[in-house]
Structure 1
């Protein structure tokens, strides 16, 4: 074996060891509506960078309370833009790291075919016992649902039928299980390959509620950590944007 070959092999080995040594984990709090795309993005992120994103999913409002109480999250992907802005103002996140990673869409959905019509007229007919929404104080998609019903002049009529999930994930579970015949969920939860994958749905017109701008931010625990910065950068990449769009979000 020649000296040049040995030197080359040693160089490759050292480079590989350096990559392994540089690889790290990043603790990420993710809004429940972004569960499916983030799982895919995290897998792609690990392949591309060597870093591992450890994901926790839940309601934005609940994550805010946990972060304020010292939860060890390093990056926060919220379901709104207000909560990350509030954390920045309170000194809990880096202002320069905040950006909008997706704009969500609200959908009225039933797990059964023929329950929800294409214009959402089912809300006016009211021939159902339970309508699921996410808790408005915890989940921005829940707030958007309340705003939609208010704009339609139906909030007072529908309030007795409402069942609230702590997060949009739990709300989706209510509808999937049949505990609620229909509910307001995130389009990403029922969207695949450019269409609603099952059941029946009405995509709520954007004019009926404030834009659901979803911001990401690097929290105090993640400042100065390469894995946190790498994830924030990867979320802006064309590869990540393609995944985000595939689940019905705007980027």
Structure 2
């Protein structure tokens, strides 16, 4: 009987130790994401959850609007901005964890129209005319809007086109203006056009605007949340970088 009992104990222990190790307890993190990064962020969040078990709850909007919300106590734990300015300001204001800020993507803007042939390969339509409304993201809150204004200024057409400009609250709304025909053409993020067929477009040369360095930072609200730190670490992974590049962004890594 004693031998029988020991035999069963041994079998029980063997069964326990043969089980796969239990993963660390899955958590959740609140992430504020610049509107231009909507689709890649969704893919990255899904891959992150598969890899770690953690869930990234994403909110999308204009970087400037998010920064204002952060100063008012919004409960975001990670901030993926469309520029470097807002994460730097968050750090300076004591809202972010020092030495966690990094550039996760370098964005590109595109002049786009759903009308074939309207936008030429050199963007000459901006000087030639032949359109009524042109959409941009609001430069007061959206870095892609700043890049659009800089481009128009560099080309010497901003003053002439100013009465025709319609401003979206974010690059997402600017794209909607163009996609629905509310604007004949507009400056959108290259990432928004990755799966879009047809229309006409001009990829704006980088020399026409300041580099769109998109930075991420860990906010102090997420300093003790392992899921928040894990998400930022995953954003630097090869898997995440491959997704980022597939959407037309450049990276430093």
TM-score range, shorter chain: over 0.9
SS of residue in 1 equivalent to 2:161: helix
1:138 paired with 2:141, answer yes
Which residue is equivalent to 1:6? 12
User: Kindly tell me: are residues 5 and 187 of structure 1, through their superposed partners in 2, closer, same or farther at Cα, counting changes over 3 Å?
Assistant: farther
Contact 1:191 1:248 in 2 (8 A): yes
SS of residue in 2 equivalent to 1:84: helix
The superposition leaves residues 88-126 of structure 1 with CA deviations (integer Å, 9 ceiling, x where unpaired) of 011000121100000000110112221111110111111
> How far did 1:5 drift?
4.5
Matches for 1:1-251 after TM superposition, within 5 Å: 2-11=8-17, 15-16=21-22, 19=24, 22-192=25-195, 197-251=197-251
Separation (CA, whole Å) in 1 of partners of 2:161 and 2:212:
22
Contact 1:190 1:198 in 2 (8 A): no
Between Structure 1 and Structure 2, how many residues are aligned? Answer: 245
Runs of 4+ in 1 over 2 A off after TM superposition: 1-16
Which residue is equivalent to 2:4? none
User: Kindly tell me: are residues 128 and 230 of structure 1, through their superposed partners in 2, closer, same or farther at Cα, counting changes over 3 Å?
Assistant: same
The superposition leaves residues 159-213 of structure 1 with CA deviations (integer Å, 9 ceiling, x where unpaired) of 0100000000011111111100100010000024xxx633210000000000000
Separation (CA, whole Å) in 2 of partners of 1:232 and 1:120:
37
Separation (CA, whole Å) in 1 of partners of 2:84 and 2:228:
19
> How far did 1:26 drift?
0.4
TM-score by length of 2: 0.93
SS of residue in 1 equivalent to 2:73: coil
Separation (CA, whole Å) in 1 of partners of 2:236 and 2:118:
38
* Uncovered stretches (5+) of structure 2, i.e. residues with no partner: 1-6
User: Kindly tell me: are residues 150 and 6 of structure 1, through their superposed partners in 2, closer, same or farther at Cα, counting changes over 3 Å?
Assistant: same
* Uncovered stretches (5+) of structure 1, i.e. residues with no partner: none
Separation (CA, whole Å) in 2 of partners of 1:185 and 1:46:
29
